[in-house]
Amino acid sequence: MTMTKSPLQVARAAYQPKMPVALQGQVSLKEGAKTQSVADQEEIQKLFPNTYGMPVIELVPQEGEATQVAPFNVGVILSGGQAPGGHNVICGLFDALKRINPENKLYGFLGGPSGLVEGKYAELTEDVIDEYRNTGGFDIIGSGRTKLEETEQFDNGIKVCNELGIKAIVIIGGDDSNTNACVLAEYYLQKNCGIQVIGCPKTIDGDLKNEMIETSFGFDTACKTFAELIGNIQRDANSAKKYWHFIRLMGRSASHIALECALQAQPNVCLISEEVEAKNMTLNEVVEQIVEVVVARANAGLNFGTILIPEGLIEFIPAMRVLIQELNDMLAENEEFAALEGDDAKREYVKSKLTAASCDLYRSLPKGIAKQLTLDRDPHGNVMVSQIETEKLLIEMVQKRLAQLKATKEYTGKFAALNHFFGYEGRCAMPSNFDADYCYSLGNTAAHLIAAGKTGYMALVKNLTKPASEWVAGGVPVTMMMNMERRHGKMKPVIQKALVDLNGAPFKYLAAHRADWADPQLSYIYPGPIQYYGPSEVCDQPTRTLMLEQSNN
Ligand code: FBP
């Protein structure tokens, strides 16, 4: 007989996620005070007249008889990059919908937001859902990065929802997708079409967090997966004693993933983009910071080590940021550039359009890196930093600098470097207990917000360093998290990205300990793989970031 599932897969299929007490029985809503956006209040209010200022909501246990709710249908969309736990949001949503009324139906829009616009969907029935409980990936319905922004797309959505009797759409996505969810909610209220929109905070990057959203789902599992790999590499480095490992980690602009992995594995160096920017560092200064550690360790006879590099680093070097901004504005809807054939023609075109300082910087970069900077932006206008091989650029520059130091006898070690990029390895990992529980609770929460007629909200679950039974579930108006930012050359309302806070406890911990971690007296940690069964202190711990952040409160 062929085996189609590993024993762990079978065990995980039967895992019952832990949930806050408030979600375990009948639920009612408690509304707080009116809210304001985090910045640019006047502009945001003008753009979102119907969804601005709504109160924060808390879900609380309901006393007495269950309220009868007429059956309704819901559509769900997975948007953007995969994040562990997405399937459990859908499973939690499904189970809560069925508890609210067994006749409720859940449809999944296929391939991301385009599924809604193009009317591509599948009904998610019990047998489908059961296949995906506590699994990683987004393959239950697929994901995509189509941006929902045109009224034509919104109107198509109305047609499709009406055909399926859908009363609400749940968009599981990051900051950009949830911004779009809010635009959609606002439009549907203006049109009075009766379709609600609820968001859920997803992204491994960890940059969708604020006063209300303690963390985005997927960050926990992805970081634990990367930290395991980094620990394994450190053990290899410490055994063979011959390589410097330059490890770039996903996370887009924010360095949360690199920081969390550093807290878990204690590498010799961890660069934090936000610090590089705050200190106004040049690329050469970043290189110098690495070289100092390499030289110090070589002097102690250790020609090996680990260096963590956040994937967005390059955007945070001030001169590089100006260059990227110029490239963004230049490349936005630039058909002339798109029509050019061959790398040389494109390079010459770019050089002719840049300011003198940016042009000099562009010319000084290795050609491969310069080309990577001009690759297509994603549909939200972001540079695709995952495709820029900053770790190779740094290796090359460190190598050059060490050669100079060797010539003057200031460095006598050996330098052999290997490059790694971790991102896709962790985005679809089997969710940790934390993510499995958190996501299932988020899905449940979304169902209750829908049943109560809410729209323009993001589902939230907080108190996350406490046992799951003490978590608090509710909803936050998406407009509360918004500000105005420049995108595609224009000012747009978007959910404010949370970058690493240099005054926050996680960064301060790194800053206080990194000299010890660089030191020849090794302090590597080998975190090992995620554990699903065993003592709670091994299996249910949230990230170090969350624990340090909350230990301050
Ligand atoms: P989201 O913001 O959509 O969650 O993206 C997560 C992410 O993994 C980033 O860390 C990375 O830069 C990007 O997706 C890679 O994009 P793609 O999946 O299109 O290669």
SS (H, E, C) 466-530: CCHHHCEEEEEEHHHHEEEEEECCEEEEEECCCCCCCCCHHHHHHHHHHHHHHCCCCCCCCCCCC
Whether residue 427 has its Cβ less than 6 Å from ligand 1: yes
| Predicted pLDDT at 552 | 63
| Predicted pLDDT at 338 | 85
| Predicted pLDDT at 458 | 98
Whether residue 203 has its Cβ less than 6 Å from ligand 1: yes
Instruction: Find the 204 Cα to ligand 1 centroid distance in Å.
Output: 8
Instruction: Find the 293 Cα to ligand 1 centroid distance in Å.
Output: 31
Residue-range domains of the chain with CATH: 19-60+71-218+433-487 (3.40.50.450), 243-415+503-522 (3.40.50.460)
335 or 101, greater pLDDT? 101
Q: Which residue carries 């359009």 as its tokens? A: 353
* Average pLDDT across the chain, whole number: 94
Nearest CA to ligand 1 atom 8: 81
The average pLDDT across 519-541 equals 93
Whether the CB-CB separation of 26 and 19 falls below 8 Å is answered with no
Whether residue 382 has its Cβ less than 6 Å from ligand 1: no
Nearest CA to ligand 1 atom 16: 81
Whether residue 174 has its Cβ less than 6 Å from ligand 1: yes
- Amino acid in the structure at residue 510: L
Q: Which atom of ligand 1 is nearest to the CA of 216?
A: 4
| Predicted pLDDT at 67 | 78
Strand intervals (E) in 67-120:
73-78, 105-109
Nearest CA to ligand 1 atom 5: 81
Q: What pLDDT, in 10s, does the model give residues 384-442? A: 878 889 999 999 999 999 999 999 999 999 999 999 999 999 999 999 999 999 999 99
Whether residue 27 has its Cβ less than 6 Å from ligand 1: no
Reply yes or no on whether 205 is catalytic: yes
Whether residue 81 has its Cβ less than 6 Å from ligand 1: yes
Pairing, β 305-310 against β 417-422: unpaired
Among the residue ranges 218-227, 290-299, 330-339, 498-507, the one predicted with the least confidence is: 330-339
Whether residue 251 has its Cβ less than 6 Å from ligand 1: yes
State the catalytic residue, choosing from 95, 175, 176, 205: 205
Instruction: Find the 332 Cα to ligand 1 centroid distance in Å.
Output: 20
Reply yes or no on whether the pLDDT at 324 is more than 60: yes
Q: Which one of 77, 205, 383, 495 would you pick to mutate in the ligand 1 pocket, going by the greatest count of ligand atoms within 8 A of its CB?
A: 205
Instruction: Find the 81 Cα to ligand 1 centroid distance in Å.
Output: 5
Reply yes or no on whether the pLDDT at 38 is more than 80: yes
Whether residue 331 has its Cβ less than 6 Å from ligand 1: no
Instruction: Find the 412 Cα to ligand 1 centroid distance in Å.
Output: 40
Instruction: Find the 255 Cα to ligand 1 centroid distance in Å.
Output: 14
- Residue 482 φ/ψ, nearest 5 degrees: -95, 155
The average pLDDT across 74-87 equals 98
> For residue 296, is it left (φ>0), alpha (ψ between -120 and 50) or beta?
alpha
Taking the C-alpha atoms of residue 151 and residue 229, their distance in angstroms, rounded to an integer, is 45
Pairing, β 57-61 against β 472-477: antiparallel
Which residues contact residue 15 at a Cβ distance below 8 angstroms, ignoring those fewer than 6 apart? 133, 134, 433, 436, 532
Reply yes or no on whether the pLDDT at 381 is more than 80: no
Nearest CA to ligand 1 atom 15: 386
Reply yes or no on whether the pLDDT at 257 is more than 80: yes
Instruction: Find the 298 Cα to ligand 1 centroid distance in Å.
Output: 36
Instruction: Find the 42 Cα to ligand 1 centroid distance in Å.
Output: 31
Q: Which one of 386, 422, 435 would you pick to mutate in the ligand 1 pocket, going by the greatest count of ligand atoms within 8 A of its CB?
A: 386
Reply yes or no on whether the pLDDT at 310 is more than 80: yes
- Specify the DSSP element, H or E, that contains 262: helix 256-265
Q: Which atom of ligand 1 is nearest to the CA of 251?
A: 10
Taking the C-alpha atoms of residue 414 and residue 232, their distance in angstroms, rounded to an integer, is 22
Q: Which atom of ligand 1 is nearest to the CA of 205?
A: 10
Q: What pLDDT, in 10s, does the model give residues 464-475? A: 999 999 999 999
| Predicted pLDDT at 509 | 98
Q: What pLDDT, in 10s, does the model give residues 328-370? A: 888 877 788 888 888 889 899 999 999 999 999 999 888 888 8
Nearest CA to ligand 1 atom 7: 81
